[in-house]
Amino acid sequence: MTATDLQKEDALWTAVADPTRRRVLDALLEHGESTSTGLAAALPVTRQAVAKHLAVLDRAGLVAHRRQGREVRYVVRAERLDDAATAMARVAARWDRRLVRIKRLAESAQARAVTDSQHPTQGATR
């Protein structure tokens, strides 16, 4: 992964880490396209807060915006959501591999402990 790829992935994780931003994405997915004012009406946050969350989502590439008169209308970028799902799947797979290794180490340590308890070292004092 290049430094640019890592920066994009970091921006993505930052964007989706916040529960309010996930709600903004959900609301956009439900409405298809909306303004910050329209989203604020559907969410328990102010229009200013929605605008700030949309800016983070925009920088991460998760939403696109366009001007229509005096309004700025936002829409979810489906291809970037696919990228997010792929990135999350990669992280999940890495953690699964780590957990399998930890499980093997724990089972191996447990098996050694059982063997050691069944066959104490000769000449050892208790």
Please give the model's pTM, rounded to 2 decimal places.
Answer: 0.69
- What is the predicted pLDDT for the residue at 122? 55
- What is the predicted pLDDT for the residue at 121? 67
Q: Write out the two tokens for 31.
A: 């409405």
Q: Which residues pair with 75 in a beta bridge?
A: 64
Overall CATH class of domain 3-77: mainly alpha
Per residue of the chain (126 residues), give pLDDT as tens: 788 877 888 888 888 889 999 999 999 999 889 999 999 999 999 999 999 999 999 999 999 999 999 999 999 998 888 888 888 888 889 999 999 999 999 999 998 888 888 877 655 554
Residues 6+ apart with CB under 8 A from 79: none
Domain ranges of the chain: 3-77
- What is the predicted pLDDT for the residue at 10? 84
Contact 43, 20 (CB under 8 A): yes
- What residue type is assigned to position 18 of the chain? D
